[in-house]
Amino acid sequence: VLVNNAGINRAGPLDTVTEEDWDDIMAVNLKGPFLVSQEVLPMMVGTGGGRIINIASVSGLYGGPTTAHYAASKAGLISLTQVLARWGADHNIFVNSISPGIIETDLTREELRTGGGKNVVGLTLLKRPGQVEDVASIAVMLASDEQNYMTGQTISPNGGSYFAD
């Protein structure tokens, strides 16, 4: 099982994103998972199959006004997931992605309570952030032998972000 979970973001309006910002985010969020997957695929083929889980973002499904480069990188990762799934199907390799919404972690906790993150949480139907376990439980399911008919898909635990007014 390979879980591609590296990611960085530098939020800012589109007109402030530098080429360096763009390149740095693409390198970590898209190029990294591509290269690691490319390295691991022959081993998975040799052992009769495997699982790749890419951690994308709800931003990859619909961009935000201050995350053009981040959203593009995560949309690219979702597309890469589909490409890898097509390739891997003949080799018993299942490839899926998880696109979480706002998740409470050590890195986001303070922002969620006091800053702009509080406003984002208010835009979800559930009016609360997700927890790490909400994402981890999906990853465990995707990694398990209990799931043998899902590939090329994106699951988005996001508290109903799409449906809020």
Contact 78, 56 (CB under 8 A): yes
- 70 catalytic? Reply is yes
Name the pairing type of β-strands 2-4 and 130-131.
unpaired
Active-site choice (62, 70, 149, 162): 70
CA 45 to chain centre: 24
Q: If you search the block for the tokens 């931003």, which residue do you land on?
A: 59
Residue type at position 123: L
SS3 140: helix
Q: If you search the block for the tokens 């495997």, which residue do you land on?
A: 50
Q: Active-site residue numbers?
A: 70
